Chain A
């Protein structure tokens, strides 16, 4: 009798396996290429970035995330990054708000290229720091451009978005998180 159970074992194992496959394929928004950040709910790393010269906004460091009691959106961008252009209008929208900080980390870029890019498309950022060798990027666990972090007023990383903000992402994901973080204060 228990021999019969033995013979059904391969079937049972396979069913469990297919359950996992099914879960993985149907889970909304799952993309094996996107790596979730391990820094969520951890304090933002220490860093100090120099300004992009002639842009007219200062660079920034870790203290600027906590100095004014506002929620910060930290966006990693570069002039060579095509998807960055796609999400640029969303950055412009965010940049118009004065109840949050919008900081840009200029990732592995030549300063003159970055300046040209920002002058052409408009600079939405309140502060821009240069990260030519991606060292600060590494501290933040950045592996692609663009990436967008939301940091609360106490300097804790609360959210990370990998890749460009697609239509709807700003309204459905980013803004609600900002509002709830502001409400917590």
Chain B
């Protein structure tokens, strides 16, 4: 499947901004099941300084600064990405390892720190009371890890309401759990908290999902902005991706831009501006088949 993605972020400032420094995590990267053909970016006003870097998790990011007065900032990233069917589509869930064995293996010297690091707590993910118990309802003793995960995925989908505007990135996981409401990043964070609290390695994936549904199919959640889901490490298969917001095993509709411990590692656009007043932000994402 080949997609063309356009991601536009616009900031309007009440008063002119004299200086801004930004980090952009919106550049799709090559991945086992994803080939990036083209990336173009257009930042207005033109940055004084721009550098493309690779971070600790091998994501690509752009650092740029604008050092003249401006009232608007627009960051536009266009890319063409070809997505192929991931290997886990052919994995039979009930043939995967019992989840406890995975947890034990993760603590052995057989697992490298590149995998282990994702079972620890992180800025947005902590072992809050109740989450482990919630997870254990799906992760029953001896259950194959992928089967249990699919079960957890659909429970989260059913138990939580997709409610844009209810939460933002500073909302605590405790509150997401309490109110059972949120958007894709909350669903992803909650999934991660469940998995890490029972000792499994799971990471945050940010990216996009197809915007215009094929005829006759419903439009998917998270399609008008950047999307987020998770990847669980399953020995023998690798990082397997699950989207709790849409209750699905990720196939060819998702395009990845970055992975990290949680949102904090891969926020699509981070910035510090110097200004006398506030700002408004508009995000526009379009994903269409080529």
A and B together in one complex: no
Query: Which B residues lie at the A interface, using CB under 8 A?
Result: none
